[in-house]
Amino acid sequence: NREGNVVIKVLIGTDGRVKRVERVSATSDVFFEATRRQALGHWRFKPATRGGVPQESWITKSVRFVMND
């Protein structure tokens, strides 16, 4: 497959780093694994806060893969 979609749930830690990735749907295992590796290794977020205190939180993200010639 040259194109595909991945939907994941991401647990964001109090430091803004991705702590866990759960598969919701994916066109292929290869696309899911690539997305999981990128999320765990490189993605950063501003953590949610409650009363000014950082909290862990889940978000859902969609990633689309498109191969250009």
Look-up of token digits 């978000």: 59
For 16-44, write each residue's pLDDT tens digit: 999 999 999 999 999 999 999 999 999 99
Residue 2 is predicted with a pLDDT of: 78
Map residue 36 onto helix, strand or coil: helix
Amino acid making up residue 59 = I
- The first and second tokens of residue 22, run together, are 């759960």
pTM of the model: 0.87
Residue 4 is predicted with a pLDDT of: 92
